[in-house]
C-alpha cells in the first residue's frame, strides 16, 4: 500500500502505480503549499471502496478529493480557478 502523507491532508489523490497524471497532480498541489495524501487503489481495497463512493462507476485515476468534493482526472486550469477562489 502506497501512502505518502504530509502533516495535514488537504488533498487526497486516488492513484495507481506509474500514473503520470497522478504524480503531476501531487506535484501541482504541493507546489501550491497544500498537503497531499496519495492512496494506491491497486493495492489498498479500503481506498478503492472510498473512491467508488466518491465517484460511482469511475474506473480511472486520478480521482482528486478536496474539501469533501471529488473530481475525476487532473485538469490544472480547473484547479487554478478553484484554488484561486479560496484566496
R_g of the chain computed on alpha carbons = 12
Q: What is the pLDDT of residues 27-76, one digit of tens each?
A: 999 999 999 999 999 999 999 999 999 999 999 999 999 988 999 999 99
Torsion sign (Cα): 43, 47, 50, 54? negative
Tell me the domains of the chain and their CATH numbers.
3-86 (3.40.30.10)
> pTM, whole model, 2 decimals?
0.86
What is the number of H-type helices and E-type strands within the chain? 3, 5
Amino acid at each position: 500500500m502506497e501512502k505518502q502523507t504530509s502533516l495535514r491532508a488537504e488533498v487526497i489523490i486516488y492513484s495507481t502505480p506509474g500514473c503520470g497524471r497522478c504524480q503531476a497532480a501531487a506535484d501541482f498541489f504541493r507546489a501550491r503549499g497544500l498537503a497531499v495524501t496519495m492512496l494506491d487503489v491497486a493495492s489498498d481495497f479500503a481506498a478503492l471502496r472510498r473512491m467508488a463512493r466518491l465517484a460511482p462507476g469511475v474506473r480511472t485515476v486520478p480521482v482528486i478529493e478536496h474539501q469533501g468534493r471529488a473530481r475525476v482526472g487532473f485538469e490544472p486550469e480547473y484547479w487554478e480557478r478553484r484554488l484561486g477562489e479560496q484566496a
